[in-house]
Structure 1
Amino acid sequence: MPRPEGILALLDSRSFGSIWFWVILTFAWTMAGRRILGVPSDVITRAIGIEPGPEDDPAALRLLDWLSLTLPRWRIDQREGAILLGLGSFLLTTLAILGFGYGLEMAQALVLLILPFALLFALELRLAGRLRAVLARAEVGLPANEAGVQAARLMRRHRVVITVLSILAVALTAFYGAIWMIVHPFGY
């Protein structure tokens, strides 16, 4: 029979001292790098090495097809953008005040988890706008191979940004969590 202390330790609500926080942080950043705007990594990788030619390469057509399916989901008008910005700013500001102003560990952990993803969301919206322009040029006459290469390069650069952002976010969170655990060894 399991001991109650073991179960309570497993369900600990402390953030930086809990294995669940670190599992969620690792899982979230792992999943963030697997797809870019909903397009699988292998589709992007195949489209990078396309040679210009008279016939359309299937890899370029596949990437452009994926983009034509996924980019409409990334279209946000000004009103929706203002609402998202206002709600996101309110949430992050509230959590930052609760966490860093009043010393609540859970709020600090949530700020360190959510803030980099908010930045990543803004970067993905920007990438979606650039890819919409490439897709529009492909619809009016830009060769599919050239459009596929342009889109794949933009998405590859974005993947590098995601990698750097994830490394910085996890390192900063781990550093801050270690300092928190040293300063608060008993959790308070």
Structure 2
Amino acid sequence: MDWYSAVFELIDMRSFSNLWYWIALAAVWSQTSRYVLGVPYDMIQRADRHGGQPEIDLEDMVRINCNRLLYVANTSGLWIVGILAMLMTSMILIAFVYDVEFAQAVFLLGAPMLVVGFLSLNTARVIQEQGLTGKALRKRMHRHRTATQFVGMVAIFVTALWGMYQNMTIGALGQ
């Protein structure tokens, strides 16, 4: 067995029948819902429970991450949107017009992450424009996390349905 065959046997390009894909999907959504605008969720909970220094730390970290996110969006946002539009259009064509399962898997991971990215950008703008602090900031962060988790649930559900469909269709064709 040569190196090429060993690698492709380990990393099956039939993504939806590969355990590694589902582990990666779970890990991506776990990390995405754990960090709210780059802030660990336990920091928000600690600020909610204790106030004082944990709340000051939370506000500082949110301010830093919001400023960073909005700076990138303001300086190169149009370029990023253009490149992402090109990549996603290419991915859709490769995935669903040319019926490449690996591209379908990547699209089903990436498209919902774009939604979360836009939600994060919107939340950062609201926090900065309204100058949210204290309870109002924590409430907004909780709402953003809930929205992210909702997007994740829908994405995992759609991915599971599409993956089962692909596995049943390819499995039926293989017999």
TM-score (normalizing by structure 1): 0.81
Tell me which residue corresponds to 1:64: 59
Distance in 2, Cα, partners of 1:66 & 1:46: 14
More helix by share: 2
RMSD after superposition? 2.4
Tell me which residue corresponds to 1:185: 171
- What aligned pairs does 1:1-188 form with structure 2 within 5 A after superposition? 9-48=9-48, 57-75=52-70, 76-78=72-74, 80-135=76-131, 147-185=133-171
Change (3 A) 1:14 1:59: same
| Equivalent pairs, count | 170
CA contact (8 A) 1:116 1:165 kept: yes
TM-score (normalizing by structure 2): 0.86
Which segments of structure 1 move beyond 6 Å, counting only runs of 4 or more?
Answer: none
| Structure with more relative contact order (C-alpha pairs < 8 Å, separation 6 or more) | 1
Distance in 2, Cα, partners of 1:7 & 1:83: 35
Q: CA deviation at 1:6?
A: 8.6
User: Structure 2 regions of 5+ residues with no counterpart?
Assistant: none
User: Structure 1 regions of 5+ residues with no counterpart?
Assistant: 51-55, 138-146
Change (3 A) 1:15 1:154: same
Q: Which has the larger radius of gyration?
A: 1
